[in-house]
Structure 1
Amino acid sequence: MKLISSRDNALYKELKHLAGSSQARRKAGRTLLDGVHLCQTYLSLRGAPPQCVVSESALRNAEVAELIAQCEARQVHCITMPDALYAALSQVEHGVGILFVIETPERAVTQALSASAVLLDNLQDPGNVGSILRSAAAAGIGQVYCSAGTAFCWSPKVLRAAMGAHFVLDIYEGVDLAALVSDSAIAVLATSGYAEQRLYDVDLRQPVGWLLGHEGQGVADDLLALATHRVVIPHLGQVESLNVAACAAVCFFEQVRQNQV
């Protein structure tokens, strides 16, 4: 295991740049998985990461020691550093002190929608995006398509909110959603607080594409016009609408419910 003890170390500077800049992560095609759960999930579902980074105090943690042992058995480049240096890399308050550096997959859309999928139109909040990914994975949905204006799915905040869902999903970013919806081989349902058709009145016993929009503005008008159905989730309380992540979970699991009846 390599020890880094100086802030002037070239590798440390590179890691710090990745930790602090979304632009750097996109350019490098790499990101950081922070914490035991994400690292365990990655090892289990995707295999060995290119690098493992741990704080000196974390070396005494049993779960971290097990992860390091698995990494070293797979010849992963393992690095340790003083807690003060590690703290500048981590965005997790009171975290255990382990992170993986991983490659972020780049996927191009090559075929029309034919299986249930999620389409995210300009969602801004990383927590919402991560929660939607987590709900999609839990509902058995396999593909997520994001417009260019949607929060970067491989940012640390989205990764933490998704709790490992990334590793069972095919995620496409920078997608032309209008073209995807136009060419879709399945029905596309757009959520809208102004729709007249209730979610619960739509037959969801076949694959559908779920089109979800910006937290404040909703799905863009041009995409709403292209959708097969525009649906609303009825609610009784005196609130204008549901949070988009809550809306997504209701939609996904209404589809699950209908397919289990």
Structure 2
Amino acid sequence: MRSITSRDNPAVKRLHGLATSARDRRSVGQTLLDGAHLVRAALDADWPLRELVVSDQGLAREEVAALVRRCEKLAQLHLTDALFAHVSPVDTPSGVLAVIDLPESAPLEVFDDSLLVLDGVQDAGNLGTILRTAAAAGLRDVLLTAGCAQAWSPRVLRAGMGGHFCLRIHEQVEVAQVLKNYAGQILATGLGAGARIVYDCDLRGPVAWLFGAEGRGLSAEVAALARGMVVIPMPGAVESLNVGAAAAICLFEQVRQRRTSGPA
């Protein structure tokens, strides 16, 4: 393990760039995993790590020390707590980071199972939460339009808590082209005419779920792709749900129906 004490060290500058700059991440084709849980999830999924980075405080914790032992054949850096805070992508440093390569773009295909389409979801926490939910619900593919946050940014990865490693995430997708021959239902949430309560819909077959940005919802282009609209009943005194909550309700209603009755 190599110890570094200077902020001027090229490795520190590189890590700081990965933590703070989407341009730097794209330029070098790498990103950061933050926290012991996420690093362990990557290892458990056999996701290749490039480098492990730990702090003094991190090394004092057994869960981080265990990761150091598990990654003994991997390049490892030891930073002072101050330097680690400088390269940390979050305000409260976790004590352990890992460097991974950005994955190559998964090939687009004719999809025949359920999938998730996210249009302009820019909040890193929401995007990561939705990706984690999609993975938990058993989806394989998630399509992101150009307006979404970078799926492999450290903050989205942290919110995803390992969900990234069991999904095929397609970024910068022209959704209209991809879905033009989709054989299943294409559903959006909303209050338009003809909207059906989601619990009354038959969701046992393939569904392409469309969810939009936190404020404006779906763009007109993506909304026009919907072949049906569903509404989530809300008897309480609120007007709408967070996009992450709405996605979870819809995806797990589909899980429930499939468990109860089997595929259509």
**What are the ranges of 5 or more consecutive residues in structure 2 without an aligned counterpart?**
none
Residue aligned with 1:226, SS? coil
The counterpart of 2:103, out of the listed 94, 102, 105, is: 105
Counterparts of 1:135-214 in structure 2 under 5 Å? 135-194=133-192, 196-214=195-213
How far 1:224 sits from its partner (Å)?
2.0
Q: 1:12 to 1:156 in 2, by over 3 A?
A: same
How far 1:245 sits from its partner (Å)?
0.6
- Partner residue in 2 for 1:233: 232
Structure 1 residue identity aligned to 2:67:
L
- Partner residue in 2 for 1:24: 24
C-alpha contact 1:42 1:167 (8 A) present in aligned 2: yes
- Partner residue in 2 for 1:11: 11
C-alpha contact 2:114 2:206 (8 A) present in aligned 1: yes
Distance 1:57 1:242 in 2: 39
% same residue: 47
Distance 2:180 2:88 in 1: 42
**What's the TM-score, normalizing by structure 2?**
0.93
Residue aligned with 1:88, SS? helix
Aligned residues: 259
**What's the TM-score, normalizing by structure 1?**
0.94
> What do the CA deviations read for 1:162-185 (whole angstroms, capped 9, x no partner)?
111111111110011111221323
Q: 1:95 to 1:7 in 2, by over 3 A?
A: closer
Structure 2 residue 57 is matched with structure 1 residue 57: yes
Q: CA RMSD in A?
A: 1.5
Distance 2:185 2:110 in 1: 12
> What do the CA deviations read for 1:101-141 (whole angstroms, capped 9, x no partner)?
01111214431221111100111111111111111111111
How far 1:186 sits from its partner (Å)?
2.1
How far 1:256 sits from its partner (Å)?
0.7
Distance 1:258 1:142 in 2: 18
Distance 1:217 1:96 in 2: 34
Structure 1 window deviating more from structure 2 (85-94 vs 150-159): it is 85-94
Structure 2 residue 120 is matched with structure 1 residue 114: no
How far 1:42 sits from its partner (Å)?
0.6
Structure 1 window deviating more from structure 2 (163-172 vs 234-243): it is 234-243
Distance 2:14 2:94 in 1: 22
C-alpha contact 2:143 2:171 (8 A) present in aligned 1: yes
Structure 1 residue identity aligned to 2:38:
L
How far 1:243 sits from its partner (Å)?
1.0
